[in-house]
Chains A and B, each alone.
Chain A
Amino acid sequence: MEALALSLVKSFPALSVAPLWAVSLLLMVAAGVVVLVFALTFEGVGSLVLRKVAGDIQARIGPNRVGPNGILQFLADGVKLVLKEDIIPAKADRLLFKLAPYFVFVGSFAAFVVVPFGVGLSPADLNIGVYYVMAITSLVVVGVMLAGWASNNKWALLGGMRAAAQIVSYEIPVGMALIPAVLIAGSLSLQDIVKSQGGLLGIFGWNLFHNPFTFFSFLLYFTAAQAETNQTPFDLPEAESELVSGYNVEYSGIRFGLFFLAEFGDMFIVAALATACFLGGWHVPFLNAAVLPPVWGNLLSLGVFLTKAFAMVLIMMWVRWTLPRLRVDQLMRMSWKYMVPLTFVNLLGVSLWLLVFRGKGIPQMIASLFG
């Protein structure tokens, strides 16, 4: 940010009257607002698309009354959520009850900070990007547990406990499945990971095709990440049929809205991480976006990144409306008996591959055969 502020001051000498820290602070706020607006828009439109996809898959039509073909439904939903009465149960722990949605929302939204949207479009390119995402999304556990506990409701508490067990269990396979991408790039920064996947027609450089193990680790990551973010086949914390609505059962109005938004934010984070770590991130196929003029390169790479990420979100919705919910013991067994060992084996496989073939992937080897 400070580098950007410096270049800004250089190109606009009028800004030099303000101290540098003020300019960079302003830039940070601006970046935050832009990302927040993007996240909220995505969450709104995402909820509409989710319902439309649900309708299609279940041989229904879906929302089609508000606006042409129902495209304004999410505005109606949002207005309804904001206008609803904000009820706090009499026996609830008021402070924790009020605090919990913010934890969940911050945990979900803070992960947007490191998402590499384009060549130079990253709100903050942390050198520990992957680690940061893993750490900050764990804040959601705290929020969910708080919500479950503070509601003073048995269903909410059960949901909160389940969420804690599930998120903690699945964090291991998620981390283990992401490490292959880190190993190949040799960096934890998401921008570096994306950069390491360039070249080779822009498609075959993807980590997905690097070697068989990375392909499997993509599948493992995608599965485990859906479980970690409580997406539907693994949505035990809010299992409607058994826990009414889980940890957020006592919430209403805008506080419930925050939980809702966080869920969609998580969805995008999972899709964005999968895109950045395995699907080539913002690399435009058949083009090198990094050498284009900055504006076009950024716009093009942003478009490509969002296309890939939204495609992943669509696949998540598709999974969501297909698979039935797992039982608690099945969920735990899947994590500890299947996902964890498989991701470890996978990680071992990738490490050995990188060691034996000196970091070259299959497409690279084929390319080197033809010169």
Chain B
Amino acid sequence: MGLMAYLNDILEAVVTTAKGMRITARYGVDPKEEVTLQYPEERWEIPERSRGFLFNDIKTCTSCTMCVKACPVDCISLESVRGADKKMVLVSYDINIGRCMYCGLCVEVCPPKSLKHTGGYEMASVQRGELILHFVQEDAAEIKARVARQVAEAAAKAAEAAKAAEAAKSAEGAPEPPKPATKPAEPPPPGEKPAAPAPEKKE
């Protein structure tokens, strides 16, 4: 190592040190460079289309099970029964949010657009069971029993109507088509509240 290289080493050490010191001094003096967010008190504004927790609006959900089939990790479980009006009635709709990987496939395939991502992202729990979101609050057995009752009632009414029509037909002799759907046992509004387990906390 020649003398010039030796002196160059020293010069380089001094110059590079000074350069680094200048950068940190700028950061140290300028308070605007602080990027810390005091998290529980302040939060980032999350983007509009961010994929947070899933939320299913069970009023519009048609129980088509597309989301169940689309889910790559099988975190959605859905149970439904056929109601009196031939429409499917949701008995239970659970999403295991602890298993969800937020791929968004279920949201994309949802035909009635009832399944959506919310902005929620805070859900700490001490038990894994607490991470399962239940969107149908009512007990599954109760719904099933009620739907079965309604179906039975509707069937009885239809049979009565048919009988009455038959009687009328035989009485009048006029061929009139039966009207079984005059009084469709509407799926009664059972006062189900839409489940809102996804906490949409903002501020």
Residue B126 interfacial (CB < 8 Å): no
Q: Considering the chains assembled together, what is the distance between the CA atoms of A156 and B172 in angstroms?
A: 107
In the assembled complex, which residues on chain B have CB atoms less than 8 Å from the CB atom of A336?
Answer: none
Residues A323 and B20 in contact in the complex (CB < 8 Å), given A59-B27, A318-B28? yes
Q: Which residue of B lies closest to A56 (CB)?
A: B28
Interface secondary structure of B, over-half rule: helix
Residue B25 interfacial (CB < 8 Å): yes
Residue A38 interfacial (CB < 8 Å): no
Across the interface, do B35 and A59 meet the contact criterion of CB distance under 8 Å? yes
Q: Specify which of A59, A318, A321 lies most central, judged by the most chain B CB atoms within 10 Å of its CB.
A: A59
Chain B min CB distance to A316 (Å): 12
Q: Considering the chains assembled together, what is the distance between the CA atoms of A322 and B22 in angstroms?
A: 9
Q: Considering the chains assembled together, what is the distance between the CA atoms of A338 and B23 in angstroms?
A: 26
In the assembled complex, which residues on chain A have CB atoms less than 8 Å from the CB atom of B38?
Answer: 61
Across the interface, do B21 and A60 meet the contact criterion of CB distance under 8 Å? no
In the assembled complex, which residues on chain B have CB atoms less than 8 Å from the CB atom of A60?
Answer: 34-36
Q: Considering the chains assembled together, what is the distance between the CA atoms of A60 and B29 in angstroms?
A: 12
Q: Which residue of A lies closest to B38 (CB)?
A: A61
In the assembled complex, which residues on chain A have CB atoms less than 8 Å from the CB atom of B174?
Answer: none
Q: Considering the chains assembled together, what is the distance between the CA atoms of A56 and B35 in angstroms?
A: 10
In the assembled complex, which residues on chain A have CB atoms less than 8 Å from the CB atom of B127?
Answer: none
For the side of the interface on B, what is the size category?
Answer: 10 to 19
- Complex interface residues of chain B between 16 and 48 (CB less than 8 A to chain A): 17, 20-21, 23-25, 27-29, 31, 33-36, 38
Chain B min CB distance to A14 (Å): 54
- Complex interface residues of chain A between 59 and 80 (CB less than 8 A to chain B): 59-61
Q: Considering the chains assembled together, what is the distance between the CA atoms of A55 and B38 in angstroms?
A: 14
Residues A57 and B24 in contact in the complex (CB < 8 Å), given A323-B17, A338-B9, A338-B10? yes
Neighbour of A53 across the interface among B23, B28, B31, CB < 8 A? B28
Residue A127 interfacial (CB < 8 Å): no
Across the interface, do A56 and B20 meet the contact criterion of CB distance under 8 Å? no
In the assembled complex, which residues on chain B have CB atoms less than 8 Å from the CB atom of A53?
Answer: 28
Q: Specify which of B10, B24, B34 lies most central, judged by the most chain A CB atoms within 10 Å of its CB.
A: B24
Q: Considering the chains assembled together, what is the distance between the CA atoms of A53 and B21 in angstroms?
A: 13
Residues A318 and B21 in contact in the complex (CB < 8 Å), given A59-B35, A338-B9? yes
Residue A58 interfacial (CB < 8 Å): yes
Across the interface, do B28 and A57 meet the contact criterion of CB distance under 8 Å? yes
Chain A min CB distance to B119 (Å): 26
Residue A319 interfacial (CB < 8 Å): yes
Across the interface, do A322 and B21 meet the contact criterion of CB distance under 8 Å? yes
Across the interface, do A58 and B27 meet the contact criterion of CB distance under 8 Å? yes
Chain A min CB distance to B43 (Å): 16
In the assembled complex, which residues on chain B have CB atoms less than 8 Å from the CB atom of A338?
Answer: 9-10
Q: Considering the chains assembled together, what is the distance between the CA atoms of A56 and B33 in angstroms?
A: 8
Residues A318 and B33 in contact in the complex (CB < 8 Å), given A323-B17, A338-B9? no
Q: Considering the chains assembled together, what is the distance between the CA atoms of A318 and B33 in angstroms?
A: 16
Across the interface, do A318 and B9 meet the contact criterion of CB distance under 8 Å? no
Q: Considering the chains assembled together, what is the distance between the CA atoms of A322 and B24 in angstroms?
A: 6
In the assembled complex, which residues on chain A have CB atoms less than 8 Å from the CB atom of B35?
Answer: 59-60
Q: Which residue of B lies closest to A233 (CB)?
A: B17
Residues A61 and B36 in contact in the complex (CB < 8 Å), given A56-B27, A318-B28, A321-B24? yes
Q: Considering the chains assembled together, what is the distance between the CA atoms of A97 and B9 in angstroms?
A: 42
In the assembled complex, which residues on chain A have CB atoms less than 8 Å from the CB atom of B23?
Answer: 322
Across the interface, do A318 and B24 meet the contact criterion of CB distance under 8 Å? yes
Q: Which residue of B lies closest to A319 (CB)?
A: B21
Q: Considering the chains assembled together, what is the distance between the CA atoms of A319 and B14 in angstroms?
A: 13
5 cross-chain pairs, A with B, having the tightest CB-CB distances, nearest first: A322-B24, A56-B28, A57-B28, A61-B36, A57-B24
A residues whose Cβ falls under 8 Å from a Cβ of B: 53, 55-61, 318-319, 321-323, 338, 342
* 11 more A-B residue pairs beyond the given contacts A55-B36, A322-B21, with a C-beta to C-beta distance below 8 A: A56-B31, A57-B27, A58-B27, A59-B35, A59-B36, A60-B36, A318-B25, A321-B24, A323-B17, A338-B9, A338-B10
19 A-B contact pairs sorted by A residue (CB < 8 Å):
A53-B28, A56-B27, A56-B28, A56-B29, A56-B31, A56-B34, A57-B27, A57-B28, A59-B27, A59-B34, A60-B34, A60-B35, A318-B21, A318-B24, A318-B25, A321-B24, A322-B21, A323-B17, A323-B20
